[in-house]
């Protein structure tokens, strides 16, 4: 089993691995023709992501579909990649060769640059006699360039044991330009009590175990097909490492004796496995290691989509302060009465970390420029609007989301108001439920003019453990929400033009069944220039 090493040696070793992987581009055509792996070596499919106006990251991992061939795949392996204008690959745009290193689980990351803006491409990988499936990806318009319309899907929380990923089959048919994935790509639980499907392998704590769990998820046919259909922008939440972890502090849950495991090592292993299985850029992985933060991987960033929209993608997990006032002093999350928690309103506590906060505020300050895009999307992990779950004067909040970091949320609200950010739209996940609402300047001003709107999406499969029975009471206590549903599973779909943003909440009928039907649970419109949500169906 390959392990991450602490300190300088770890950083130096990873940088050497990344350099060696890229060196395959200079090996020539014969290098990839020499290897003879099994034809099922691309069993985890292909993916693309981190798309800009002139670049995209292409991903695959050599993972033969039988154990015998996996054991033989122990040495450096050269992989040919090709990008084409057409699906037949008779109009090649770029091609090259990279090395799939055993130290990085034979994963492949190709940062293809110099592509034409605002167009679709096809790509594939080859090694020996094996050819991957064909993937489709695209670039977007340069910042400020005319863009008439975009369709984006957003999703989160795909727990293997809770159901089948059939929602992706319907998302593929909805044909989005890109997917925004907002966290909990996998779960670290053993899943032994599942009545749908069991992940196997027990609790996930080591690098090898995280790799196996990623490979299990990547083997899902519907998830593979959606990755091959469009580029993804991804960020993570807690279950990619451990439930409810906060920065460098462990969360909650694990096998007997899990507390004695070095959490810094576990987190570093999880981050490496995440990098190995996602279409994210290698330089960001390596450069952040140079800061001295072992196992650190920068996930936040901003994507410009012509003059139509920008997407600020955040990381609310890696830099946060620990949750406060969890019952009986336990780690992780819980429900809290703020009036009984002295640390609740501590102004120094942050969900994003001070550096990421300042980065975001600087981006928001630029939204009033004449060349700024029409819509300002903010993708983050969880529910942004306050949600008081107890009627009357006594408050009751969940401390793991923005509700547990009220000062940090108020700072962001102040930045939105101070910079007069136009057409701000929050996207979230994590809670396994659909919540649609208006983002107000403060929690106390229930009738204030909204600063933004929010679409917090449900899960692909993960259960919420609640029913709609109590929703009328919760909605009455929180009138800034205009719609909620805590039972149905699926994803969200945004159709964006200069005049309006249309949101559809797409839900399947039953995630416990392999074949499902899809429907639009509710649809909404937001007119440009006015942060008001109108339900249309």
pLDDT tens for each residue of 103-135: 899 999 999 999 999 999 999 999 988 999 999
Mean pLDDT of all residues in the chain?
A: 90
Q: Which residue has the tokens 């917090």?
A: 456
Query: How large is the average pLDDT for residues 64-85?
Result: 82
pTM of the model as a whole: 0.94
Would you state the pLDDT for residue 444? 61
Neighbours of 479 (CB within 10 A): 12
Would you state the pLDDT for residue 11? 60
Token readout for 198 is: 């069991």
Please give the residue that has the higher pLDDT: either 191 or 113.
113
Q: Please, which residues have CB within 8 angstroms of residue 420's CB and are 6 or more apart in sequence?
A: 368
Token readout for 282 is: 């290698």
DSSP 310-356: EEEE--SSSSPPPP---GGG-SS--EE-GGG-TTTT-TT--SS-HHH
Q: Please say whether the beta carbons of 388 and 418 come within 8 A.
A: no
Stretch among 246-255, 431-440, 485-494 having the lowest mean pLDDT: 246-255
Q: Please, which residues have CB within 8 angstroms of residue 449's CB and are 6 or more apart in sequence?
A: 441, 531
- How far, in Å, are 313, 423, 455, 495 from residue 301 at the CA level? 5, 19, 20, 22
DSSP 8-state symbol, 461: S
Q: Over 50: is that where the pLDDT of 31 sits?
A: no
E strands of 231-328, at which residues?
232-234, 301-305, 309-313
Q: Over 60: is that where the pLDDT of 68 sits?
A: yes
Q: At what angle do helices 406-418 and 354-365 cross, to 10 degrees?
A: 20
DSSP 158-192: --GGG---THHHHHHHH--SEEEE-S-SS--S--T
Q: What is the chain's percent helix, strand, coil content, to nearest 5? A: 25, 25, 50
Q: Over 70: is that where the pLDDT of 276 sits?
A: yes
Residues in the chain, how many?
537
DSSP 8-state symbol, 535: E
Domain boundaries, the chain: 1-139, 152-283+290-535
DSSP 8-state symbol, 246: B
Query: How large is the average pLDDT for residues 486-500?
Result: 98
Q: Over 60: is that where the pLDDT of 478 sits?
A: yes
Neighbours of 401 (CB within 10 A): 25
Q: Give the separation between CA 410 and CA 405, rounded to whole angstroms.
A: 9
pLDDT tens for each residue of 135-166: 999 999 999 999 999 999 999 999 999 999 99
Query: How large is the average pLDDT for residues 488-513?
Result: 98
Q: Which residue has the tokens 């450096």?
A: 76
Would you state the pLDDT for residue 442? 86
**β-bridge mates for residue 310, sequence order:** 304, 376
Stretch among 69-73, 126-130, 423-427, 528-532 having the lowest mean pLDDT: 69-73
Would you state the pLDDT for residue 226? 98
Most confident of 102-106, 278-282, 481-485: 481-485
| Residue 297 pLDDT level (bands cut at 50, 70, 90) | confident
Query: How large is the average pLDDT for residues 469-494?
Result: 97
Q: Please say whether the beta carbons of 53 and 116 come within 8 A.
A: no
Architecture of the domain delimited by 152-283+290-535: 4-Layer Sandwich (3.60)
Q: Over 70: is that where the pLDDT of 326 sits?
A: yes
The rounded percent of the chain whose pLDDT value lies above 90 is: 77
Query: What CATH class has 1-139?
Result: mainly beta
Q: Give the separation between CA 72 and CA 105, rounded to whole angstroms.
A: 13
Backbone angles phi, psi at 321, to 5 degrees: -75, 160
Q: Please say whether the beta carbons of 99 and 77 come within 8 A.
A: yes
Query: How large is the average pLDDT for residues 515-536?
Result: 97
Please give the residue that has the higher pLDDT: either 2 or 135.
135
Closest CA to 270 of 287, 283, 251, 257: 251
Would you state the pLDDT for residue 292? 47
| Residue 436 pLDDT level (bands cut at 50, 70, 90) | very high
Q: Over 80: is that where the pLDDT of 74 sits?
A: no
């Amino acid at each position: 089993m390959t392990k991450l090493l602490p300190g300088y040696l770890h950083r130096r070793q990873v940088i050497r691995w990344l350099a060696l992987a890229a060196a395959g581009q200079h090996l020539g055509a014969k290098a990839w023709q020499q290897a003879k792996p099994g034809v099922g070596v691309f069993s985890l499919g292909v993916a693309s992501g981190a798309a800009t106006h002139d670049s995209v990251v292409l991903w695959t991992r050599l993972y033969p579909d039988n154990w015998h061939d996996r054991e033989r795949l122990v040495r450096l392996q050269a992989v040919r990649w090709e990008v084409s204008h057409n699906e037949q690959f008779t109009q090649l745009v770029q091609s090259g060769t990279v090395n799939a290193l055993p130290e990085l689980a034979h994963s492949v990351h190709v940062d293809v640059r110099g592509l034409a803006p605002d167009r679709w491409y096809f790509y594939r990988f080859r090694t020996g006699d094996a050819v991957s499936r064909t993937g489709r990806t695209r670039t977007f318009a340069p910042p400020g360039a005319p863009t008439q319309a975009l369709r984006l899907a957003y999703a989160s929380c795909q727990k293997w044991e809770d159901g089948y990923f059939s929602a992706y089959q319907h998302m593929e048919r909805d044909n989005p330009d890109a997917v925004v994935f907002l966290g909990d790509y996998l779960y670290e639980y053993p899943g032994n009590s599942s009545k749908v499907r069991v992940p196997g392998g027990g609790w996930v704590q080591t690098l090898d175990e995280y790799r196996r769990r990623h490979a299990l998820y990547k083997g899902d046919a519907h998830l593979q097909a959606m990755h091959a259909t469009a580029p993804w922008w991804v960020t993570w939440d807690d279950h990619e490492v451990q439930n409810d972890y906060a920065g460098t502090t462990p969360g909650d849950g694990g096998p007997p004796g899990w507390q004695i495991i070095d959490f810094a090592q576990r987190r570093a292993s999880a981050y490496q496995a995440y990098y190995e299985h996602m279409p994210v850029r290698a330089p960001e992985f390596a450069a952040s290691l140079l800061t001295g933060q072992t196992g650190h991987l920068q996930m936040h960033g901003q994507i410009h989509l012509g003059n139509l929209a920008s997407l600020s993608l955040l990381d609310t997990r890696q830099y946060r302060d620990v949750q406060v006032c969890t019952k009986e002093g336990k780690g992780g999350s819980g429900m809290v009465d703020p009036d009984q928690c002295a640390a609740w309103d501590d102004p120094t506590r942050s969900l994003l970390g001070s550096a990421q906060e300042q980065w975001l505020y600087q981006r928001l300050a630029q939204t009033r420029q004449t060349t700024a895009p029409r819509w300002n999307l903010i993708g983050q992990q969880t529910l942004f609007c306050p949600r008081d779950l107890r009627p009357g004067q006594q408050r009751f909040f969940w401390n793991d989301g923005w509700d547990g970091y009220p000062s940090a949320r108020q700072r962001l609200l102040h930045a939105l108001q101070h910079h007069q950010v136009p057409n701000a739209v929050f996207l979230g996940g994590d809670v396994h439920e659909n919540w649609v609402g208006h983002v107000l300047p403060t929690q106390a001003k229930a009738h204030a003019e909204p600063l933004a709107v929010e679409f917090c999406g449900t899960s692909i499969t993960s259960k919420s453990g609640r029913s709609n029975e109590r929703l009328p009471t919760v909605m009455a206590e929180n009138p800034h929400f205009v719609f909620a549903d805590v039972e149905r599973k699926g994803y969200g779909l945004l159709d964006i033009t200069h005049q309006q943003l249309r949101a559809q909440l797409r839900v399947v009928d039953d995630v416990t069944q392999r074949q499902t039907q899809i429907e639009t649970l509710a649809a909404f419109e937001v007119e440009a220039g006015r942060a008001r949500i109108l339900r249309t169906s």
